[in-house]
Structure 1
Amino acid sequence: MSTPETAAPAPTPAQLGYRMPAEWEPHEATWIAWPHHREDWPGKFGPVPWVYVEIVRHLSRFERVNIVVDGRRMRDGVTEKLEAHSVDLKQVTFVKARTDRVWLRDSGPTFIVKDKGQEEGDRVGLVDWRFNAWAKYDDHRHDNRIPRRLARRLGLKRWTPRVECEGASRRVVMEGGAIDVNGRGSLLATEECLLSDVQARNPGVDRLTLERIFADYLAARNVIWLNQGIVGDDTHGHVDDLARFVDSTTVVTVVESKVSDPNYEPLQENLRRLQEARDQDGQALRVVPLPMPAPVLFDNERLPASYANFYIANSLVLVPTFNDPADREALNTLAALFPDREVVGIHAVDLVLGLGTLHCLSQQQPAAPAEGSSS
């Protein structure tokens, strides 16, 4: 009696030659979603759309900006605001889709690229993680659909990672703010966000399984685990408020100078881990400290104000600022690290009330690599 053949598992993106590119690699566009969820900025929503206008004004000088809006009325209102600030609307595309919130870093897809491909259209794809609103909020149905909608609009191949756990197959929950990569095979993440029982994204999934997922879907075979995030971060430890690659061998990490501040010791622990870490080739990292601003408070609650939440665009780096003396130090540090890009501060005191700033609200769409290029 013949035995039935078992189908071979489908190749992973990494096996097909895809990788998650570093943020400083060339962009096709930046995606943002226009703010509308007033409860995220209680009593202070009014200034927030104008912060977005300033973001679009700077980005549109260097790359296309794709803005997600829920319909014509929102689009017309946004157009009016952009025109008032002389934004070149030829650099802006409006995309109709509903969102629950606007943090596309987390609800949007993770784009991946292939440096060699038979056709240019085959060189960009996306990973569609499940989004569950940081395992904290119930309203995430629209946000969870965003990657699928973008894949259809852009005509890109889409992968939906799954994991076997406790006898069942389920989609992997992940957010873009939970990871940062150098494009060469190394990835930053925190144990607090991805391995804790608090706001657990993937209950029962261990460290080694997550590392295998990062290797299979992002070609990130070297995971550098930091400890925990900053006070006030309701994502429970996103790494994009802590430490970021700024080139393939250099990481910036925020440090607190006041020993009495509750962030002091956790950030020192992260600094120690980075100083001891090695990249995918076994080489030590260059670790550059960034300051922390003085606490930004609202209703006696500390907000997640951090200079690490910057966004790297084509020829530009946007940095959140907080009317703080440390703003200048942070801007100067990043300007030295990005000598070929403009480094621009964006006033974020109102924006951070929504518990996120520039990196949280943006998602880069990489350009297709030229044939034969490499990271």
Structure 2
Amino acid sequence: MNIINMKNLGLTEEFIQESKIYKNLFIGRVSTQSKNLFKVITENGEIAAEISGKFHYSVKELSQYPSVGDFVMVDRTDNSQGNGIIHHILTRKSVFARKVAGSKEDIQVVAANIDTVFICMSLNNDFNLRRLERYLSIAWDSGAIPVIVLTKSDLCKEIEVRLNEISSVAIGVEVLVTTSTSDKGHQSLTRYLSNGNTVAFIGSSGVGKSTLINCLLGQNILDTNGIRNDDKGRHTTTRRELIMLPNLGVVIDTPGMRELGIISADLTKSFADIDSLASQCRFNDCTHKNEPSCAVQKAIKDGTLSVERLENYRKLKRETKYEGLNSKMIEKEKISEMFSGMGGMKNARKFIKEQNRNKRR
């Protein structure tokens, strides 16, 4: 039996110290999840596992269940006596999460305990600056370092134009250009891979995440498909999966995410240019709409800031502001915002009363 070096798998001294709280249990790392069954890599290999009944009844939110990348405490390191039982999740050092589609409150952990987020975007039909801003905002908030990976460069005739567009929105983020048509088309990624490091590949369907991972593995382990002619990616990867690379740490492949609901985001990093401009405005509470001496509006007139980027900034700011509020609370916030320049909620209530009075007449 080959003993797996768990430190190469990302196990740190912090995790080891925390694990000592739990007696007679073993450290493992979640590699895949299928409904209520997990696969966990332990020092003796990969095992099938499920969560304990006590764990199940103590969980109040979807995000509290084990996710791919989590370090967990299990009761065994092989399946000779049946499935392992997961009793605890060790404290996550980073989390890339999104709002569950169709849900107001549920949070899905896409990947946990990651060091680097490769935000993959095709230079072909998938190219979308506004979506990239959204990905960057969530990535910065995750606790990991974002890196933009541009795929299918062989299908783009305007690479320099695209790179200039990206540089205007990806402040302080490295951009890597790759191609699958060359044996060395993925080499720029390897400097982010090393023993003990975890890299998550995030992006829309069909942009080439699985192809890149296959290149790094040196073999076709993952199924791949491209973007269809209708500009929609084929959903090749259907579940999140943690994969060990020979002497290069681990990578996490994720299903395509065209829509990415925000739970929380770090807009100060992803929109550092707007925050810097805002500090130069005449008024501290400038809304960057009609106020005099607005540095943001001046930048738009000068052509150094696009209207689309400002609008996306406002949109993401609204999403993060309203996260966790119920419908009544959101409505109250919106009304308060509408009347912020006219006395806030006091005038809003007066306005609503007058509206109701007119309806009764």
Task: Flag whether TM exceeds 0.5 (same fold).
Answer: no
Structure with higher RCO (Cα < 8 A, 6+ apart): 1
Q: Which TM-score bucket, shorter chain as reference? A: under 0.3
Q: Which has the higher strand share?
A: 1
Q: Which has the larger radius of gyration?
A: 2
Give the TM-score, by structure 1 length.
0.26
Give the TM-score, by structure 2 length.
0.27
Q: Which has the higher helix share?
A: 2
